[in-house]
Structures are given as C-alpha cells and as structure tokens.
Structure 1
Amino acid sequence: MDIIKIAMFSYADINNYGDILFSHVFKHEIEKRIANVNIDFYTPSEIELEGFYYRSYHKSKVKEKYDALILAGGEVVHLFEERTWKPIYEKNNQKVLSENAYDVVWDWIDKDSSFKAWLSVGVRPFGDKWDDDKINQSISDLDYISVRGILSKKILEHGDYEEFNDKIKITPDLGWIFPDYLTIRNEVGQHYKKWAFGSKYIIFQVHNITDIEAKNISDALLKFKEETGFEVLLLPVIHLWKDEKYLELILEASGGEFKLLPNNLSVLEMLDLIVHSEVVLCSSLHVAITALAKGIPAAIFNKWQGTKLQDLYGLQFRSEYLFSDSSDTYSVLSRLLKEKQTSKSLHIYADFMKAKLYETFDEISDKIIKNKS
C-alpha cells in the first residue's frame, strides 16, 4: 500500500504540557495501527519542541496533499481569536502564518481529503461568537467528530437539551493514555527520583491566585505534610501563564518547607513525577488526568470552573474534587488521601477510559485505511 499521509493539527506551540503530549501519543497510536504512514504536525506558528517539528499552518500547505486531516485534543473548538489566541501568541512573540490562529481548527475542513476529523476535542461555549453557518457546515463536512464530554457535545448541538446528533461522538480525553507513553519510551522511574530522593510526595500546582490564597494554601499543605510525612513538590506546568510565580508565593509563605521544581522540565519528566506521586492537587486538567489514569487520586482547585473541568469530574462521579475556595485545600487533601486507601474504582475507571480511547484509535485508523484504498 502507498504511504498514507496525515496532517495533525494542534496548539502544541504554546508549550503547554497536555498540548505537547497530544502529538506524541497521537503519533504512537497511529503508527502502531497503520504500517506505512507519514505524519506532519501543524500549529499556528513554526517551532521545534520536545523532539517534534511543527510546521506553521497555512491552507496552501495542506491542499490536495494529505489522506487524512485531524485536529487532535485540547479545548480548542471555539471562535475566540481576539480574546484568546491573539493575546497568547502576542505574549509569546510567536508569528502566526495564517490569518487567524484558530484556522488550525476551522480553515482546512473544506479541503479535499479522504478523511477529516476532530478527535477528542473540547468545545467552549461560543457566546457572542456563535456562527451557525461555520459551525453547521463544519459538522457536515467532517467525516468524524468526537468530543471529550457531554457539555462539549451539547454546545455543538446548539445548547438544545432535546437534540441528539449521533455524528458527534463522546470519547475520552487523550490524556488518559499519557502514562502509557512513558512506558512505551521505557522511561518509567527514570526521572522522578532526581527530585524526590526516594521520599513519598504529593504534587501541587496552581495558577492565578492572590497572596491571601497563597497563604491559605501554604498553611493547608504544611499541615498535611506534618501529618503524613509526605514531601510537597510544587510543579510548574502552565508556562504560558507563568504558574511558577504563584507557586513561589506558596513556597515563600511556607518558609521554604516545600520544593519548587524547575519550570523547564520536559513532558516526560513531568509525567514520571506525576505518576509516582501519592496524590495530586492542581489547576491543570491534564496533570489531573495523568494522575487519574494511573489510579492516583487527583483534585482540581480552579477559580474558573469551565466545561472541561465539570465534564471530567462529572463523568467521574467525583464532583466534590473540583473546588474554587482556597480554604477547602486541607479538607480536599484529606479526602484524597482517604480515597487512595480505597481507590479500586479509580483504577477500574482509568482502565475503561484507556480501553475506550484505544477503540477510538482503532476506529479512525480503520477509516483512514479504508478511505485510502
């Protein structure tokens, strides 16, 4: 069979933990199922990152060239160019080649290709940016659509509770197979001891907090550390919003009792640290999912409780582990530790999510091969 050529679209170029790993796991899962395949990776700007080269997207680059065009992962289906993408790329001094950064989501859907898909994506409420023609035409033109939660599905269904478009599937977030990539790379246990020195530890990460919230969180972490003997590792992962500066506030409030990890760790180093922790409390969706995928109890503190966070904890039947009041930090940590002692359901759920995601990759790979032939 001739080489199957695939273009994968993402926002890995913003240097965010989950967005980077989407490319890595996508490449592995597709190459595992399609023997003769070549994958090119496209982002709004050109960049080399974590061993991958990302081409800057422009419609002319994908015209009549690929057998499959696939947007994979992330809460990226929306039309907030001015309020989301433009500030991000200006902040990073990154040049977007196409007219808009969101073109990697919308601009290629009318191109000739035997298979076009949105895979395990999140959808933000469009608000005043809802565009019936663009959204409906995109849903019609795509060959495969899967979103990562019921709220994302309902948004694409015009917010109509009675509507059910069976073309829009619900599949697990790609993050549920992040830990498997560490195994595939044979790097399990190769990194975390460098920072933990063999001690039991918890991972904490947060962004966008006040000085008062930092003090509340620090007091809770100190109390938890004293009671359990666990080290507290502060892990920066959201480089774009400089979460390290908020973690520094917590470290300062603790009198230096915690360990602030470097903000330039590779995604594999972060993965290894997360999967060897006792519990995780963070503001990052994909740090939480990484832990949960290994059956490690994880909670999210985030003052913005958007659709992606509600979908995750709602579908897990663990809504009490999504909170926005810093004064609840200690009680949530205590519940996480108790859950760890009886976490059978977490492991079962993680195995189910991974199995469903592998079925999804089987399905789209079969469709790509069939359409090519």
Structure 2
Amino acid sequence: MKNNLRLAMMSFADINNYGDILFSHVFDMELRNRIPDVEIDFFTPSTIDLEGYHYEGYNRLKVDGKYDGIFLAGGEVVHLFDERTWQPIYEKQQKQVVSKYASDTVWDWVDCQSAFKAWLSVGVRPFGDKWDELKINNTISSLDYISCRGILSKKILEGSNFESFNKKIEITPDLGWIFPQYLDSQNQRGKHYREFIPTDTEYLLFQVHNITEEEAKIVANDLREAKQKYGYQIVMMPVIHLWKDEVYLEQINKVAGEEFIVLPNNLSVVQMLDVIVHASLTVTSSLHVAITALADGVPASVFNKWQGSKLQDLYGLQFRTDFLVSEVTEFANIFEKLEFERQHSKSLSLYAQFMREKLKETFDGIVNRMTNSR
C-alpha cells in the first residue's frame, strides 16, 4: 500500500465512557497491524486529550478533502437525538461542541471528499419521531461501507421494514470483542488488577447504576448471599462516570456492612480491562463491560432496567437471553446460572473466538477495499 495513508476516525470518546474510549484504541491497533505507517487523526464533538490520545473537535473543514479514509467506528451513536441525548450530556460535562451539533460526527462528513468513508460496527437507536428518510438514504448512498453490530440495528436503519434487506448494510461484531486483545497488545495483562484486589482472591465483578434505595438493599443482600455460597469476593467497579454509578455502588456496599471492595472511580481503561478479564463472574449494567468479560471467556450477565436494542442484540445473538435481567426480583437467580456456565459451558470461548475471527476478517476486508479505492 502507498505510504502516508491518512485516516480520520470519528467517535464520542470525549464523554469519557469506557467503551467509547477503547474504540479508538482498538481501531488504531487493528489498522497499524495491517498498515504500520498509517496516520490516524481522532475526532470527537469537543476537543480533549484523554488516555494518551488527542481528540480534535470535529469541524467539516478539518476533514473535507484531507483524508484517504474517514470512519465512524463503534458505539450506539447512529440517531438524531441531539436535544434529547447529546446536548444534555455535553452540558452536564461542561464541554464545548465545536460543530453545530454533536451528531455531526456521525452525519455531517458522509458527503465530504474522501476515497473511502465508512460506518464500522455501529449501533443504531430507534429514530422515533426523528426519522428522516431522505437524510438516512442519502447517507447510506454516500458511504462506501456500512456495518451494524446487530440485526436490530440493521433493521432500524432499514426503516424497520422487515421485508427489506439492504445488502450494503452488513452486520459485524461489536468492537468490544477485541478489547482484551488490546490489553495483550500493550503487554499489560495481569499488571494492574492486583493493585486493588488481594492476591489469590477470586471475585465476582459487579457494577450497576440507576437503582432506588430499596433496590440497593435487595441487591446488597443478594450479593452477600452469593459471596457466601460461591466463595467469591464482590468487587465493584465504577464504569459509567456520566451517571455517577460510584454513588450506587457505595450505597450497596454501605448496606452490606462495607464488606465488598469498591474500586476507585478514576481507573484508566487499561486498568479496568485488567480487572474485568481476571474476574470469575461478571454482573453489570454496562454493555461493554459485559462484552469485554465474554470476549475473554468470563460468564457475564447484564442487570439493567432498560432492555434496549443493543442489549437484546448482544444476548439474542449469543442465545443467552436468560442472562439479560431487568428486574431486581430476578437478580438473585442469575448467580447460579453464571456459575454453572463457568464450570460447564464450552460455547462461551468458542463464540468469543468466532467473533474475534469475524472482526479480523472485517478489518482485512476494509484495508483491501481502501487499497482498491486509492
């Protein structure tokens, strides 16, 4: 391939969310594995330096005609809810969006001049009253490559028309399935988790957000019983900084008599990765904590009141819908299922291997297409 290939990657890493940050890292890893001298600039709605990467605030003039390829990679970011979603998030974090809308990092650049433009493994939210058929169809026509991370996202992008099947919109695994490989690529596996968790301690990793005081009491009691029955320490790790999940975790631990380990809420993504892959079991409200665990063969359940399309896609495609829990009354039953899966299931490791291989093929295919487009 010709030298000095220049790429731009769009994301929402600037909201400081575990998965959104790691999308940049694994995209960088995969492209450099195939094109060692590639130049990649990273764009987010606001300008920020985070976890060793500089993110430039997106503006159309910064990318139009300046890159060989432009990518939006990962995240449930394909929607048009600026007022409902992005505006409150950026205001809450006191971050200045450079372009007119935060969603311009998704939509605005698709007709810019570039040899190759792609959405890679994106999630799509139901558009509701924001459906804009002309905008969406023009976007699909303008992009050279589109892949969604699940069948529900694909169908939403096809206008929820179940008789339609647009072959241009492919389905590829979520980029989270290669998060543990990033840990290994940096030679960081096993170098962080013992900073917080005593040696020889086996643990159940737990994280949740958005629960009531009464629910916190129920969860605390169920976790204490699971600890006693299965012998795992309970380790709580804040992940969803935007919604202050550390408050809910501290509340649960207080009810439990402070007998659990609550990790700091400022861990780096590499530290969080190392904690996740060394857990015995995982229960979380975070999609990408669950995927990271599953990608490394750790049985994981999602405990989240909201069962959106992204969670249904993950557990539906895994044939594990009984591991998706939304009610606190169901919570206690999940531990036995996870422990049984840890001891007896062979499908988790095989499924994770399959997803990694599919992503390898996906990146191989993208690089080949970019080569042909130059």
Scaled to the shorter chain, the TM-score interval is over 0.9
Counterpart residue type for residue 80 of structure 1? F
Deviations 1:332-353 (A, max 9, x none): 0111011100121000000000
CA distances 1:269-304 after superposition (whole Å, capped 9, x unpaired): 000000000000000000000000011100001111
Deviations 1:124-173 (Å, cap 9, x if unpaired)?
Answer: 00000000111000001000000000000000111011100000000000
Corresponding position of 2:253: 251
CA contact (8 A) 1:16 1:240 kept: yes
| Structure 1 runs, 4 residues or longer, greater than 3 Å off | none
Q: Deviations over 1:241-276 (max 9, x none)?
A: 110001111111101011110000000000000000
Q: Deviations over 1:156-203 (max 9, x none)?
A: 111011100000000000000000111110011001111111200010
- CA distance in 1: counterparts of 2:255 and 2:345, whole angstroms: 32
CA distance in 2, matches of 1:227, 1:332: 13
Percent of paired sites with the same residue: 59
Q: Is the 8 A contact 1:43 1:56 kept in 2?
A: yes
Give the corresponding residue for 1:348: 350
* Cα distance in structure 2, aligned partners of 1:318 and 1:58: 41
State how far apart, in whole Å, the 2-side matches of 1:112 and 1:310 are: 36
Partner of 2:320: 318
Say yes or no: does 1:278 pair with 2:297. Answer: no
Q: Note the C-alpha offset of 1:107.
A: 0.3
TM-score, scaled relative to structure 1: 0.99
Q: 2:361 aligns with which of 326, 351, 359?
A: 359
Structural mapping, 1:1-373, within 5 Å: 1-198=2-199, 199-372=201-374
- Give the length in aligned residue pairs: 372
1:295–1:343 contact (8 Å) kept in structure 2 = no
1:37 positional shift: 1.0
Q: Any unmatched runs of 5+ in structure 1?
A: none
Across the aligned residues of Structure 1 and Structure 2, the Cα RMSD in angstroms comes to 0.7
Partners of 1:207 and 1:241 within 8 A in 2: yes
AA in 2 matched with 1:177: I
Letter in 1 for 2:120: L
Deviation at 1:326, TM superposition (A): 1.1
Rounded Cα–Cα distance in structure 1 between residues aligned with 2:36 and 2:90: 36
Taking structure 2 as the reference length, the TM-score comes to 0.99
8 Å contact kept, 1:217–1:327: no
SS at match of 2:109: coil
* Per-residue deviation, residues 191-233 of structure 1 (Å, max 9, x unmatched): 1111111200010000000001111110100000011221100
3-state SS of the aligned residue for 2:290? helix
Measure how far apart 1:323 and its partner are. 1.1
Please tell me the residue identity of whatever aligns with 1:339.
E
Distance in 1 (CA, whole Å) between partners of 2:220 and 2:36 is 51
Q: Secondary structure at the match of 1:310?
A: helix
Unaligned runs of 5+ in 2: none
CA separation in 2, counterparts of 1:329 and 1:63? Answer: 50
Judge conservation of contact 1:297–1:343 (CA < 8 Å) in 2. Answer: no
Is the 8 Å Cα contact of residues 4 and 67 (structure 1) preserved in structure 2? Answer: yes
Asked if the contact 1:69/1:117 (under 8 Å) is kept, the reply is yes
